[in-house]
Structure 1
Amino acid sequence: MGLLQRMKWPKRAALPPERQLSREAGLTITIHALFQFGASMAGLFLNLYLWRLTEDLVVNGVYNIVVYFLTPIGFAVGGWIGKRKDRMVTYRLGILSMGLFFLLVVLAQEQVVSFYLLFAVLNGFASGLYWMGFLVLMYDVSHDQNRIRFLALNMVFFNAAGLAGPALAGYIIGSNEGLRGYMITFMLAFIMFVIAAVVSLRIGTITTRHKVYYLNLMGLLMRKNRVWLQSLIGFFVFGLFQGIMLFLPNILLYRTVGREDLVGYLGVFFSGLVIASGYVISRKAKETGARRYILASSTGVVLGASFLVIDVSFWTVVLFMILFSISNPLAINTLNTYYYRLMGTLPLKGQLRNEVVVVREFYLNFGRMISIALLLLFSQDLESAWLPVVLVGTALLQYTIFWMIGAGREEDGKA
């Protein structure tokens, strides 16, 4: 018997049944990864495409403000469709609408700048439909015992697709002269969305007796349920930092390296860090650690943003993105897990999931719009000394989420 055969390797403990994922959960992760592959190829470079055409931070900022304004409206419409029909109808409409958006970008080419507000409207509304369907679907295919693991594995595959997409897009754009590479990238994204829509047909619809859309009563529920209201304020604060981070880093990287392919390859590296962080979360994170996780993630992003106060250079931007890529998945997973668990405690026991997801998105995107508006107000170009100040300020506000979730409840072992 050979040495390798005589060696006894430790066996991994089998997952208990309650932590295992269903077939629908696996399909949901697959579809979302396909969507992200296309979205990361095109979305990462869309703001850079606008920057290349205009070199105007205001155009990028206004574009993103309009996107985040329309996204909650897409959520509200998608929630109504999900209540009247099914969340899969909303989900598929979102995938196809995003595909249509990038197909129109291909057809418009450099005329995107002339109609960038209309493109922002379509992008925001389509994103709202997609994420409305997906967030409700995530609630349906997971439960309290396996949700942390589901969300963490979803993050791993989502960012694995986000790792491959920018690398491929960066290679395509770098291998083609002018803006031709951008057009090829946007067309490939359209194809990926079509494939995702086809795969989504394997998840069936569900029938429910609760078809009344209670969005108009959410204000009353917020007044009566202080715990839920605090969690919504937490998402608003989270959006203050996320709004800037969803479009500014790639522009900063491009200004420091001057090449789209290098921006794509750096995106691969940062996505790799997110994957590693997500894997550790899936293995180690516990339901009882929400507030500690928020403190840790907030400290990471504040430390990273502080480097930019010293100087906005290649190395400070990279250090900032490294710490952000490691810390941000912990905040996202913690907030989503906490919110999904909270949804089950609200009236009708999960039947209000469409409405509470819509309200959450209103708070999150309002935070995003406020932060981008502040950035444009104080820093209309990348050379402004106020740019890192706004970043550090919104990063510091993340600490307040600590008081918005879990206070006095089971996270700290208190009934």
Structure 2
Amino acid sequence: MEQGKHSVQSHWYHSMQRRKLRTETLGGERNLSDTTLGGQAVLLLVVQALMGVAGALSGTFVPVYIWKVSHSFALIGWFNLSQYAVSGLTFWFAGKWVKEHNKMNSLRLGVALSGVFYFTVLLLGRAAAIYAVPLGMLNGLALGFFWLAYNVVYFEITEPGNRDRFNGVAGFLGSGAGIVAPWVSGLLITTFKGQRGYTIIFTISVIIFAIAAVLSFWLKKRKTGGHYDWSYGIRQIRKPGNPWRRVSPAIAAQGVREGVFMFLIGLLVYIATGNEQKLGNFSLITSLVSLVSFWIIGKLLTMKRRKTAMLVGALAITAVIIPLFWPIRFMTLLLFGLGVALFMPFYIIPMTSAVFDLIGKDEESASRREEFVVLREAALTVGRLIGIGAFLLVLPLADSSPQAIPWLMLVVGASPIAAWWLIHPFVGILAGGPERAK
């Protein structure tokens, strides 16, 4: 979850129709320049945080769990590929439900299916590796339903003025979950040897998902309107001069990196150390740095600084890949992890904020927020599939050429630079163009 703040008061926000919609969906009028977060935004952050805790407890160790049984990078690659593909398809198909019916049910279904995923892994035990692809598809369904609804609700309950703050807090909470949860999981797995430790952490995750599902019922039912246009996103990309012709490839470039790095780094830490507790320690240290960085950047970032912050972040998270060309040890991986933790907020907060501000640039665009959220996820999915596809293609070369994987990581890890180049003209327009916030 892969979002941002301090934006423009556009025509849409000045229109009486939009003000009416905000009043109806949020239960009252809001100051559009206000950077504070309302009660619904806070509750959404709590639900996301619980999802993050449950995912950090167990999700960090699912690739390790499969690896310990299969010792196959390819199997883990296929698990992630199936997860990304089904998640993207779920966004597209569920878009109609979210736009025309009850988007909160989509969010709750995503939380429930996440619990079902870990419960299934729990039941399968060591046989989970045999069913890696179907399990990836199940998790993809869960992620698709949850994040589609989450992103639409996030857009509706935040304003340009508080979007950077929301994303900073979201990153702060995610980092907080990453500090405690994997460390606790690693401690439990190493204390209770073998299958029992994994059984405990998967069970705890299922319980937390259940709590998140219950809390989600306090999120107000969102107003629906309009009809879902299945091909709307495609038409935006095909339209000459439309900003989404550049923004969509920028989002895809972001996905290329995510497709590989989201699972590979934790797995490399475990392979280098052979110890789940070391992986927990890695997550604790890097997440602590990330927490501080997200908190500071979320508070200090303004629209005028977005373009520069994105470039600094993109260059830095690419440069820190260089230590991975050294022998893969815990310390070299930790150097990389600390660099990413420190500089990722510079890149990801402006990137997410700029995209969602573009969705809300005028009344017509805002009325198609579900279609744009689906377009955003489709672009991310394409990027992730390209990244994981490249990983699977390079994998056979790793035995004969030990540097093949580090070179792959450098190439896909440099994709944020391409993302910045593609999207930065629109970040500049949003920050200083004719719709500049007063």
Deviations 1:141-167 (A, max 9, x none): 110111101110111112212222111
Q: How does 1:246-257 map to 2 (within 5 A)?
A: 246-257=262-273
Counterpart contact for 1:132–1:358, Cα < 8 Å: yes
- Number of the residue aligned with 2:410: 392
Deviation at 1:174, TM superposition (A): 1.0
CA distance change for structure 1 residues 245 and 289 in 2, over 3 Å: closer, same or farther? same
Matched, 1:229 2:270: no
Mapped contact 1:34–1:196 kept (Cα < 8 A): yes
Deviations 1:52-86 (A, max 9, x none): 11111111111111111111112123322211212
In 1, are the aligned partners of 2:254 and 2:380 still within 8 Å (CA)?
Answer: yes
Measure the CA separation in 2 of the matches of 1:262 and 1:309. 21
1:60 aligns with 2:76: yes
Contact 1:257 1:314 in 2 (8 A): yes
CA distance in 2, matches of 1:158, 1:229: 31
2:132 paired residue among 93, 112, 116: 116
In structure 2, the partner of 1:194 is 210
CA deviation after TM superposition for structure 1 residue 397, in Å? 2.9
* 1:219 aligned residue: 234
Query: 156-165 vs 268-277, which deviates more?
Result: 156-165
Partner residue, 1:352: 368
Cα distance in structure 2, aligned partners of 1:253 and 1:150: 31
Are residues 281 and 66 of structure 1, via their aligned partners in 2, closer, same or farther at CA, if it must alter by over 3 Å? same
Contact 1:239–1:368 (8 Å) recurs in 2: yes
Tell me the matched-pair count.
400
Q: Which amino acid aligns with 2:145?
A: L
CA distance in 2, matches of 1:122, 1:160: 27
CA contact (8 A) 1:301 1:395 kept: yes
The separation in 1 between residues aligned to 2:39 and 2:174, in whole angstroms, is 17
Q: Which residue of 2 aligns with 1:413?
A: 432
| Alignment-derived partner of residue 5 in structure 2 | none
Runs (5+) with no aligned partner, structure 1: 1-14
Matched to 1:394, the amino acid is V
What is aligned with 1:5? none
Deviations 1:279-306 (A, max 9, x none): 0112110112222122111121121111
Q: How far off is 1:332 after superposition?
A: 1.7
Counterpart Cα distance in 1 of 2:312 and 2:150: 28
Percent of residue pairs bearing the same amino acid type: 24
TM norm structure 2: 0.87
C-alpha separation in 2, matches of 1:16 and 1:207: 20
One-letter amino acid of the counterpart of residue 48, structure 1: V
Whole-Å Cα distance in 2 between the matches of residues 196 and 35 of structure 1? Answer: 7
Structure 1: distance between partners of 2:133 and 2:395: 21
- Number of the residue aligned with 1:379: 395
- What amino acid is the match of 2:395? S
SS in structure 1 of the partner of residue 255 of structure 2: helix
Q: 1:48 to 1:143 in 2, by over 3 A?
A: same
Structure 2: gaps of 5 or more residues: 1-30
Q: Distance in 2 between matches of 1:114 and 1:16?
A: 52
Corresponding residue for 1:8?
A: none
Q: Out of 299, 305, 311, which is 1:295 matched to?
A: 311
What SS does the corresponding residue of 1:345 show, helix, strand or coil? coil
Q: Which residue of 2 aligns with 1:241?
A: 257
Contact 2:33 2:161 in 1 (8 A): no
Q: Is the 8 A contact 1:379 1:385 kept in 2?
A: no
What's the Cα RMSD here? 1.8
**Preserved CA contact (<8 Å) 2:310 2:348:** no
1:307 Cα deviation after fit: 1.2
The CA distance in 2 between the partners of 1:208 and 1:71, in whole Å, is: 23
Q: 1:144 to 1:412 in 2, by over 3 A?
A: closer
Equivalent residue letter for 1:297:
G
Which deviates more, 333-342 or 76-85?
76-85
Instruction: Look up the match of 2:16.
Output: none
Question: Which AA in structure 2 matches 1:92?
Answer: R
Letter in 2 for 1:214: D
Q: Aligned with 1:350: secondary structure? A: helix
Q: Which amino acid aligns with 1:179?
A: Q
Query: What is the one-letter code of the residue matched to 1:387?
Result: I
Task: State whether structure 2 residue 291 is matched by structure 1 residue 275.
Answer: yes
Q: Which amino acid in 2 is paired with 1:337?
A: S
Q: Which has the higher contact order (CA 8 A, sep 6+)?
A: 2
